[in-house]
Structure 1
Amino acid sequence: MSGARVILAGCGIAGPVLAIFLKLKGYEPIVYERADGPSNDGLSLCIQANGARVLSLIPGLMDKIAHQSIDQLVFYSASAADGASELARTDAPAGLRDFSGVGIGVAGVRRPLLLRTLVEVAEAHGVRVAFGHQLVQVEEPAGEECVVVRFANGYEDSASFVVGCDGLHSNTRACLFGKEAAVFTGLTQTGGISPISEGFRALGPSMVNIYGDGAHMIAYPIDDTQISWAITQREAEERETWRDMDEARQHEFKNGPFSRLPCGGGDLVRTADKIIKFGLYDRPELTSWHKGRVLLIGDAAHPTSPHLGQGANQALEDIYHLVRLLVQHNPSAASPSTATLSTVFTELEQLRIPRTSTLVYKARAAGELRVVSGTEACTMRDETVQEMWKGKERVRGDADAVKMLYADLFSFPFEAGKSEI
């Protein structure tokens, strides 16, 4: 008996990864994506220990993902009139790599390259990926245990159940819960990809934070030659897109005030090969991620600010627990009853909504802490950063210290070596 057919909406990170897991467990997934091919939008992301644990369950996948492990965090203040100063430095990411159980603590990845790799691996596992299909309607016919999905191009398909992995602008979410007004947070991000300068190379593989007056820069390597960076600041509302600035705006930004950032930040701005800019928006928190046979995961369910770097990693945690619950409650991979799916989806929500809600709040708070203006506020922020990392300069090799730092964030979704799938 063939496995249940599953439609996955969205071919970002969650869609192809979930499809591979479902295929390995006996289901027949198909991924539909609105774009005409793997996206080239965006810059980079960090795979962190919790997400790496999930990816490592797919044999050989991490070997195919080009990434740069990060050994240390370095924090600078650039807000004082008399120049820049180092606030703190720690080798905690290297310690996390040892603690994670999979050899990755924090690793920089070029986002478009990751997306192409995931599609290739999914297709190699026999998953069909259909581009150019924008989901516009989901319907559960009365008396039938299936979902009918309709697309903007007129195509129609059906499956046992549907998982919306279609990100921040989820059409699946809109179909389930209606369209929602996104609320601008007051923060924008401008970022780029630049060659690694000699100054950054001398630091070793490091994630660098530069705290300025009214702005914050984060930078980390994504391979041996390139570094990704982003500047968060408070300014007028900007469209919520990850596409490149036009050439005139890029030229203006490369030669503007941020080109003079100390601690190597200005070098990155001036030498970027492309620059993108977008606004950061909040969405209403959902109390349920499903209706009937349709479920949301990842950014479709719990979009988050980028300030903890946990967006993709939380989607991977969703995937682990969804697959674990499907294996537990539907071990045959046959088409599950509506009651079985309700059990799976409800247990997933009970486990995941509290955790993701906490991290959404923490990410928002991190952004508020980083971007402050005025001498007094900047001094308080810098002192807070120093206090956070005081006494944590050397933690690699100290398992207790690493666990104390990271247990609440990275001892998930399972303890190293104890996966249930």
Structure 2
Amino acid sequence: MIIIAGGGIGGLAAALSLQAAGIPCRVLEGVDEIRPLGVGINLLPHAVRELTELGLAERLAGIGVATAELRYVSAHGQLIWAEPRGMAAGYRWPQYSVHRGLLQMMLLEVARERGIPVECGRRVTGFAQDAEGVIVQAEGGALRGTALVGADGIHSAIRRHFAPGEGAPSWQGAILWRGTTVAAPFLGGRTMVQAGHHDQKFVCYPIRHLPDGTVLTNWIAEMKVDTSAGFAREDWNREADRGKFLPHYESWDWGWLDVPGLIRRGDKVLEYPMVDRDPLPRWTEGRVTLLGDAAHPMYPIGSNGASQAVLDARLLARELARHPRVEDGLAAYEAARRPPTAQLCLANRELGPDLVLEEVHRRAPGGFTDLESVISREELEGVAANYKKLAGFDPAALNARESWSVPA
């Protein structure tokens, strides 16, 4: 029995993947009740492929919006770069924008339908290993398993074993304010917009089409602030006063997108600092390993956090199914996943694909009349293509890759 610490997106995807590979598992979640928290996230085609192979295609389509386009625009509303996304870009699988809580609840519902034990109020606090397996210490009593997967997030108790002196997550002074607003669709109703530059950015995309023709729009306002302000760096659900940041966006009404209007009309605003952690030199020791944010918490750039957790989950199941010894399966999983996710974490610190916003702002802070005189199309294409390859969703490579599914 594989024990999974954490019932988030990564932990539940791991449970479904293990079961599909014929490997018994159970999930221990620390909260007393799993509720649909958070706001919007994106699932890129490589993650949607894996969830599709778990039989979840129709459920995903029912809770999300299939993104068709990504646009980068300047702080003056000028188009810098546009590219098709999902099946519009030639992938065999869609890209979805979805409410994080709805995705988690859908995975939880499917796990329970398929008979996977998910036990709440069972926060994992530590572990020990012996010749026969792993003894997991958890609230409500210890239990034994053949392996332990730490999918318990950025504050992972399991990660502390691998990095005991790591301390708090790394924060470089960027704050995210997030909310949702019911509004008229913009740019066809299936477009994701990234606007601004490193010190002040705005991201928005629809996460649900409503019966009256409006859309529930997820938005993120990001700004650099005074790092001495003393923010609680990792609190995802602290309600904030939009007056802290709205004045900086008052001029960002470009006709096709009314940024200050979205902020004003939105539901409650959540505030949290943008943090990550340094890549670890190892995730695995014997029968214990890490997954998702416990393994590689990264800046929310490039829409990759949840997607990479899903990829972790699928590779974990494949390697455990392929190797008779649990220790060998976990080692193979780490060898496949730790190097690329470490590269991705570091690339996101360097702005990832959002680098084009910063470059245009640096070269033309007052706006431009001729984009080609500021940045070439070849440079824009190069940034976009290189990030897709690094993150594992280059369309040609993904479409050609063999399935990671392992028959039970």
1:386–1:113 CA distance, 2 compared to 1 (3 A): farther
Q: Secondary structure at the match of 1:193?
A: strand
1:256 to 228, 247, 256: 247
Q: Which residue of 2 aligns with 1:192?
A: 179
- CA-CA distance at 1:322 after TM superposition: 1.4
Q: Which residue of 1 aligns with 2:342?
A: 357
Q: Which residue of 2 aligns with 1:333?
A: none
1:73–1:138 CA distance, 2 compared to 1 (3 A): same
1:319–1:381 CA distance, 2 compared to 1 (3 A): farther
Contact 1:233 1:371 in 2 (8 A): no
> Which deviates the most, 45-54 or 19-28?
19-28
Which residue identity lines up with residue 120 of structure 2 in the other structure? F
1:150 aligns with 2:137: yes
Contact 2:74 2:367 in 1 (8 A): no
Query: How far apart, in 1, do the equivalents of 2:351 and 2:5 lie?
Result: 31
1:178 aligns with 2:164: yes
Q: Summarize the alignment of residues 112-261 of structure 1 with structure 2, pairs less than 5 Å apart.
A: 112-141=101-130, 144-151=131-138, 153-181=139-167, 182-197=169-184, 200-211=185-196, 214-224=199-209, 225-237=215-227, 238-239=231-232, 240-246=234-240, 249-250=241-242, 252-253=243-244, 256-261=247-252
- CA-CA distance at 1:326 after TM superposition: 1.6
Query: How far apart, in 2, do the equivalents of 1:406 and 1:385 lie?
Result: 26
Contact 2:200 2:223 in 1 (8 A): yes
User: TM-score normalised to the size of structure 1?
Assistant: 0.82
Q: Which residue of 1 aligns with 2:212?
A: none
Which residue identity lines up with residue 171 of structure 2 in the other structure? F
1:55 aligns with 2:51: yes
1:101 aligns with 2:92: yes
Aligned residues with identical type, % of pairs: 25
- CA-CA distance at 1:71 after TM superposition: 1.4
1:376–1:300 CA distance, 2 compared to 1 (3 A): closer
1:236–1:341 CA distance, 2 compared to 1 (3 A): farther
2:312 to 318, 321, 327: 318
- CA-CA distance at 1:155 after TM superposition: 1.5
1:419–1:373 CA distance, 2 compared to 1 (3 A): closer
Which residue identity lines up with residue 236 of structure 1 in the other structure? D
Q: Which residue of 2 aligns with 1:419?
A: 403
Q: Which residue of 1 aligns with 2:37?
A: 41
Query: How far apart, in 2, do the equivalents of 1:369 and 1:404 lie?
Result: 12
1:167–1:173 CA distance, 2 compared to 1 (3 A): same
Taking only aligned residues, the RMSD between alpha carbons, in angstroms, comes to 3.1
- CA-CA distance at 1:351 after TM superposition: 2.0
- CA-CA distance at 1:280 after TM superposition: 1.7
Contact 1:53 1:100 in 2 (8 A): no
Which residue identity lines up with residue 186 of structure 1 in the other structure? G
Which residue identity lines up with residue 166 of structure 2 in the other structure? E
Q: Which residue of 2 aligns with 1:285?
A: 279
1:329 to 323, 326, 333: 323
Query: How far apart, in 1, do the equivalents of 2:251 and 2:367 lie?
Result: 22
1:235–1:150 CA distance, 2 compared to 1 (3 A): same
Which residue identity lines up with residue 418 of structure 1 in the other structure? E
1:245–1:384 CA distance, 2 compared to 1 (3 A): farther
- CA-CA distance at 1:236 after TM superposition: 3.1
Contact 1:194 1:271 in 2 (8 A): yes
1:75 to 72, 89, 93: 72
Q: Which runs of 5+ in 1 are unaligned?
A: 79-83, 331-339, 394-401
Q: Which runs of 5+ in 2 are unaligned?
A: 210-214
Tell me the alpha carbon deviations over residues 200-257 of structure 1, each in whole angstroms, 9 at most, x when there is no partner: 43443111122158300010110112011111211134221111415xx24x348533
Contact 1:42 1:243 in 2 (8 A): yes
1:110 aligns with 2:95: no
Q: Which residue of 1 aligns with 2:291?
A: 297
Q: Summarize the alignment of residues 394-413 of structure 1 with structure 2, pairs less than 5 Å apart.
A: 406-408=388-390, 409-411=392-394
Query: How far apart, in 2, do the equivalents of 1:350 and 1:168 lie?
Result: 21
Contact 2:192 2:204 in 1 (8 A): yes
Which residue identity lines up with residue 419 of structure 1 in the other structure? S
Contact 1:49 1:97 in 2 (8 A): no
- CA-CA distance at 1:342 after TM superposition: 2.7
Contact 1:213 1:374 in 2 (8 A): no
Contact 1:68 1:107 in 2 (8 A): yes
- CA-CA distance at 1:305 after TM superposition: 0.3
1:386–1:269 CA distance, 2 compared to 1 (3 A): farther
> Which deviates the most, 291-300 or 35-44?
35-44
Which residue identity lines up with residue 64 of structure 1 in the other structure? R
Tell me the alpha carbon deviations over residues 101-142 of structure 1, each in whole angstroms, 9 at most, x when there is no partner: 22x0x321101111111100000110011111111110113x
